[in-house]
Structure 1
Amino acid sequence: MSIHGALLPAGSPPGQDRWIATPHGIVVLDGATASAPEVPPAERYVDTLLDALATRLAGRDELPDVIAEAIADATGTLGIAPGGGPSSTVALLRWTETTIEVAALGDNTIVLGLNSGGEVRLRDDRLSTVAPAARRNYHERLRHGHGYDDGHRDLLTTIQRSEVQARNTQDGYWIAEADPAAGHHAETMHLPNESVSWAVIATDGAQRVIDHLGLPWADVAASDDTELQALLDRLHRWETENDPNGQALPRAKPHDDKTLVVWQPNRA
C-alpha cells in the first residue's frame, strides 16, 4: 500500500492539525483551543491524543472504543475536566485483510473511492447544528461583503459559547475533549477491503475549499507528498487572492489549518 500526506498550518507552525500513519491505519486530528487560560494548549492535547490513538489502532477494539480509550488517556495525562479543555476532531482509517473501517468524530471528512465506481463519504456534521441562527447570520454578512469585522467576531463569540454548552451532550454534538463517552458517538462505516480503491482524509480547512472549487477527490487520491503540499499551497493562495473576505466561501476565518492524507492499497 502507499500512504502520502501533507499539512499546512494557517499561521505559525506547527498549527493544531496532526496526522500519523501506523502499520494498521491512519489518524487525522484537527484541534481547537479553549479560551480559559488555565487549560492546556490544544497543541499538547492533539499531540497526546495522537499518540494514544496510534497505539490502539493495532488492537481488535472497535474504533469508537479506540477513541474513547484514547480520550481517557489524554484526559488523565493532561489533567483536564469536561467542559473546559481543548478539543479535537478525530478521523480514523483502519484496514484488515477483509475490512476497511473508518470513524469520524467532528467535521473531518473521509472520502472512499469504490472499485465499482463512485465514492462514499463519511463526515460528522453535528457541530454545524449548534447556534444555527448565528451561523446563518455570519455567512450572510460575509456574502454581503462585511468581511472579518467586529460584528463577525461577535457572532463567532456567540457561536463558541453555544458550542461549549452543547459539547458532548445528547442534544448537541460530540467531540474529543475530556469525556471518553464521546468516542462511542463517532460516526462509523465498514466496507469490504476489496471494494475500496483509495481513501482521502481531509480536515475541514482543506475539504471545504476542495469541494467549493469542484476538484475531483480521485485526483487528490492519486497525489504524492509533493503534489499534496502543492495542492494545499494552492488552496491557501486561492483564499488569499480570490476570496480574502470570505464572500465566495463563507468561513470563520481567512485561513484554517489544512491536512490531506491519502491511502492506496496497491493491489496486484
Structure 2
Amino acid sequence: MIHHPTLRIIDIASDPGDLSRVNEDAAGGNRSCAFVIDGATGLGGKSIVGQDGSDAAWLARLAKTFFEQEVVSGRPMSDVVRTLNKQAATVVQESSAGLPIAAWSLPVASFQMVRVDDAAIVTHGLGDCRLFLADADGTILETSAMKGNHAAEREGARRAIAHAGGLAAIKALSDDPAVREELRRRRSVYNRPEGNVWTLGTEPAAAKHLSSEPISPRLPATGLLCSDGFAALCDQYGRYDPAGLIGKAKSDGLKSLIGELRHIERTEDPNGEAYPRFKVSDDATAVLFEIVA
C-alpha cells in the first residue's frame, strides 16, 4: 500500500499594516493545499467591487474561498486560476456598469501555494509571495513566482523616499502624486503581453504564466507561506535566515513574529531610512504547515 504525503496547517496569522484600512491579505487551505494571498492596494480612484473600499480585499477573499473549494485532487492548478480569473472579470465588468476601467485600477493579487496531489508535492504561485521550507535533513528551499523582486522594490522605494522627503510624513509613498503616477504606469502593464507581471485578477491568460515547481523534500518537512509583508523579516530586515524564521515560527508562533516585525517598522525605522519601503507597514500574513509521510 502506497502512503501519500499529508499536509497539515499548524498556525495562521494575518495583521493589517494600517489599522484604519481593511486587511488585503488572505490565507487558508484544505486537505490538499495551504496558501497565502496578497491583494495589491489600489492606487487611488474609486473601488469597483469592494464594499469596504478595497477591490484588493474583495479579490483576496474571493480567491481564498475559490481555492479552498476548487483545489481538489486531479484538477490542474492552471485550470483553477483560469476559472477564478474569469469569474473575477465577470464580477468586475458587471460592477462597472459598462464604464471604462483604467488598467491600473483593476484588482490584482499575488499568491503562493503548496499542494499535495497523490504522491506529488508542488508549489504554485503568481507574484511576490514566498515559500520557505525545511525538510527532515535540514535542507532549505525558498522560492517565489517573482524571484529577487524584493531587491528591485527596495531600490524603487529608496528613490521614492528621497523624492517625497521621508516615509513617516505621508505613511504611504503612493499618496505622493509623482510616485503614484509611476506606480500606476507600472501596474497598467500587469497581466498584459508587454509586461512581465502576471497575477490573480481579471485576466484568464495569467493561468499560462503560473509558476509551478515540483518539490521533493525529505519528510517530515515544515514550511512557511507568507506575503512579502511578513517575509520582510528575512528578505528586507535581515532578522532571520529562512531556517531561523521557520524555527522561530515553530517555537514562538506567528503572532510573536508579527509583533517583532511591527516593532522594527514603527519603532526602529518609521521613516524608511534603514529599510526603504513603500509603506511604514504592509499587511503581513503567514501560514505555518507541515508535510508528513
Q: How high is the TM-score relative to the length of structure 1? A: 0.85
Q: Indicate conservation of the 8 Å contact 1:71/1:176, yes or no.
A: yes
What is the aligned partner in structure 2 of residue 147 from structure 1? Answer: 166
Q: Indicate conservation of the 8 Å contact 1:167/1:175, yes or no.
A: yes
Q: SS in structure 1 opposite 2:193?
A: coil
What is the aligned partner in structure 2 of residue 184 from structure 1? Answer: 208
Residue 5 (structure 1) shift: 1.4
Identical-pair percentage: 20
Residue 144 (structure 1) shift: 10
Deviations 1:101-147 (A, max 9, x none): 11111110112223344322221328959xx7x97464146479931
Residue 159 (structure 1) shift: 2.8
Deviations 1:198-249 (A, max 9, x none): 2211101111233323314334334359621111111011111111111111
1:251 to 268, 271, 277: 277
Q: SS in structure 1 opposite 2:166?
A: coil
d(CA) in 2 for partners of 1:135, 1:260: 21
Q: Indicate conservation of the 8 Å contact 2:160/2:179, yes or no.
A: no
Matches within 5 A, 1:83-232: 83=103, 84-125=105-146, 128=149, 136=155, 138-140=157-159, 142=161, 146-148=165-167, 152=173, 153-172=176-195, 173-192=197-216, 194=218, 197-211=221-235, 212-222=237-247, 223=249, 227-232=253-258
Query: Is 1:39 aligned to residue 62 of structure 2?
Result: no
The amino acid across from 1:75 in the alignment is A
Query: Is 1:65 aligned to residue 65 of structure 2?
Result: no
Q: 1:158 to 1:141 in 2, by over 3 A?
A: closer
d(CA) in 1 for partners of 2:255, 2:154: 31
Residue 261 (structure 1) shift: 0.7
Query: Is 1:17 aligned to residue 38 of structure 2?
Result: no
Of 187-196 and 86-95, deviating more is: 187-196
Q: Indicate conservation of the 8 Å contact 2:219/2:291, yes or no.
A: no
Q: Indicate conservation of the 8 Å contact 2:155/2:276, yes or no.
A: no
Q: 1:209 to 1:227 in 2, by over 3 A?
A: same
Q: Indicate conservation of the 8 Å contact 2:270/2:280, yes or no.
A: yes
d(CA) in 1 for partners of 2:156, 2:115: 39
Q: CA RMSD in A?
A: 3.1
Structure 2 unaligned runs (5+)?
1-6, 51-55, 96-100
Q: Indicate conservation of the 8 Å contact 1:143/1:246, yes or no.
A: no
Residue 7 (structure 1) shift: 0.8
Q: Indicate conservation of the 8 Å contact 1:98/1:193, yes or no.
A: no
Query: Is 1:6 aligned to residue 13 of structure 2?
Result: yes
Deviations 1:14-47 (A, max 9, x none): 5111001211111211112333315122222221
Q: 1:185 to 1:195 in 2, by over 3 A?
A: farther
Residue 265 (structure 1) shift: 2.1
Q: How high is the TM-score relative to the length of structure 2? A: 0.78
Structure 1 unaligned runs (5+)?
none
Question: How many residues are treated as equivalent by the alignment?
Answer: 264
Q: SS in structure 2 opposite 1:177?
A: coil
The amino acid across from 1:206 in the alignment is F
Of 72-81 and 169-178, deviating more is: 72-81
